[in-house]
């Protein structure tokens, strides 16, 4: 998962990398107070998970607290490259002598991390690499050795950065390995008028597979842009919001993807992707249905389960449980097949909920869900 700038800079600071003083807010009035605390002037920065915010108008310089309030008012609620701005960060401005680029990126072909450095930081590195490839240095890192001070000194020398950047490189490697990141990027790493190296911008992508051992993950999950995605993630569901009207729940990513196609083939559009996974329990089904039914865009839900490890009667039990907990107002078409399908059908028939429709095949289920979504 990609972190916001303010989260990424906290990680860097935690490993001893210098960052400017800064605070986040979603209120223009508070922005004024923050700027005052920072000493008056402030850089107002949109917190969106996209690069190139500067060029898109998402990074503005405020000369005093009143202007910080004004800039915050202007930036909040705008859209930066398709991302709505809900939060800004106000940072203490820094006098920049030079801007460098420093990153570790995963090279999947080599199966190794590569240090990427340039003395031409500030602008996007892809542009520098395209215009002047010789200005970008790439050095692979042996994962068993890591980045020692000696190794860092060599990389920094080869790239033409000041010698003291080696310390930043060593610390950045600690961020990468100890925080289980797949990418850490500082652009710009600024040389200040006072001769210090400060990370003015930070991008960190954490490895989702390491979630189990990163105890601070919970607080970062709040970073989900979509409240439904956040609630699904909190329940351990794989959910992606889409822009149609038919809610989709299935077991297994392949089945759910085919279901999206079949719905599209029926002239409707899926409202989401939700995979309850293999061996799903009644609780997982019930949680999934709760999430999908709380999406106001959903006009009908299609539950498509092919029971292998998953037992259809457990899934049906979850549906019944959700019916009692959520009290749906939209129709739910259920197709159950495979392991314990007959028992699953019996559970649904017992409940005889007026909004639950049983279908026997995937095509039939999709047709009915598409029809119900357009007529209710």
Could you tell which of Mn ion, ligand GDP, none binds residue 48, using a CB distance below 5 to 8 A set by kind? none
Could you tell which of ligand GDP, Mn ion, none binds residue 43, using a CB distance below 5 to 8 A set by kind? ligand GDP
Among 23, 99, 201, 313, binds Mn ion (CB under 5 A): 201
The two structure tokens encoding residue 105: 């990126």
According to CB under 6 A, which residues from 116 to 155 bind ligand GDP? Answer: 122
Piece of the chain touching ligand GDP by CB under 6 A; list 51-59, 214-222, 343-351, 365-373: 51-59
Residue 271: DSSP 8-state:
S
Query: 83: which strand partners?
Result: 80
Query: Residue 103: which H helix or E strand, with range?
Result: strand 96-107
φ/ψ (deg, to 5) at 298: -75, 125
101 is annotated as an active-site residue: yes
Among 6, 32, 49, 53, binds ligand GDP (CB under 6 A): 53
List of residues 6+ apart from 219 with CB closer than 8 A: none
Among 187, 251, 286, 290, binds Mn ion (CB under 5 A): 187
Size of the site for ligand GDP (CB under 6 A): 18
69 is annotated as an active-site residue: no
Cα angle, residue 108 at apex, residues 107 and 110 outer, rounded to 5°: 70
Return the sign of the alpha-carbon dihedral for residues 77, 80, 86, 89: negative
Convert residues 309-348 into a mask of x (bound to ligand GDP by CB under 6 A) and - (unbound).
----------------------------------------
200 binds ligand GDP (CB under 6 A): yes
- Rounded to a whole number of angstroms, the minimum distance from the CB of residue 16 to ligand GDP is 20
Could you tell which of ligand GDP, Mn ion, none binds residue 302, using a CB distance below 5 to 8 A set by kind? none
> Which bin fits 177, alpha (ψ -120 to 50), beta or left (φ > 0)?
alpha
Return d(Cα 149, Cα 165) in angstroms, integer: 10
Nearest Cα residue to 262 out of 274, 248, 275:
248
Size of the site for Mn ion (CB under 5 A): 2
Return d(Cα 147, Cα 26) in angstroms, integer: 38
90 binds ligand GDP (CB under 6 A): no
Residues that bind ligand GDP (CB under 6 A): 20, 43, 45, 51-54, 59, 91, 93-94, 96, 99, 122, 187-188, 200-201
Residues lying near Mn ion in the complex (CB under 5 A): 187, 201
């Amino acid at each position: 998962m990609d972190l916001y700038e303010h989260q990424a800079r906290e990680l860097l600071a935690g490993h001893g990398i210098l960052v400017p003083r800064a605070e986040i807010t979603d209120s223009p009035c508070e922005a004024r107070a923050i700027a005052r605390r920072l000493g008056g002037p402030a850089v107002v920065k949109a917190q969106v998970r996209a690069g190139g915010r500067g060029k898109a108008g998402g990074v503005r310089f405020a000369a005093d607290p009143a202007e910080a309030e004004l800039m915050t008012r202007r930036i909040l609620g705008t859209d930066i490259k398709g991302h709505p701005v809900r939060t800004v960060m106000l940072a203490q401005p820094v006098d920049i002598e030079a801007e460098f680029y420093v990153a570790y990126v995963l090279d999947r072909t080599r199966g190794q991390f590569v240090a990427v450095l340039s003395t031409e930081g500030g602008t996007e590195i892809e542009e520098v690499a395209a215009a002047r490839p010789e200005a970008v240095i790439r050095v692979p890192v042996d994962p068993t050795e890591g980045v020692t001070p000696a190794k860092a000194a060599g990389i920094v020398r080869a790239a033409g950065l000041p010698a003291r950047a080696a310390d930043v490189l060593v610390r950045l490697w600690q961020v990468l390995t100890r925080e289980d990141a797949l990418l850490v990027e500082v652009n710009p790493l600024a040389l200040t008028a006072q001769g210090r190296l400060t990370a003015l911008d930070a991008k960190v992508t954490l490895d989702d597979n390491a979630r189990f051992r990163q105890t601070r993950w919970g607080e970062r999950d709040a970073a989900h842009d979509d409240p439904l995605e956040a609630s699904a993630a909190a329940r351990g569901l794989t959910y992606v919001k889409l822009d149609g009207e038919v809610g989709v729940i299935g077991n297994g990513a392949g089945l759910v993807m085919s279901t999206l196609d079949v719905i599209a083939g029926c002239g409707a559009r899926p409202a989401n992707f939700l995979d309850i996974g293999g061996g799903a329990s009644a609780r997982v089904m019930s949680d999934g249905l709760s999430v999908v039914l709380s999406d106001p865009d959903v006009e009908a839900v299609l539950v498509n389960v092919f029971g292998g490890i998953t037992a259809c009667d457990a899934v049906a039990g979850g549906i019944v449980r959700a019916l009692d907990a959520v009290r749906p107002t939209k129709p739910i078409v259920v197709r159950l097949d495979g392991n314990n399908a007959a028992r699953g059908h019996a559970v649904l028939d017992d409940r005889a909920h007026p909004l639950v429709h049983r279908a026997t095949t995937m095509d039939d289920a999709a047709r009915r869900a598409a029809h119900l979504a357009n007529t209710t």
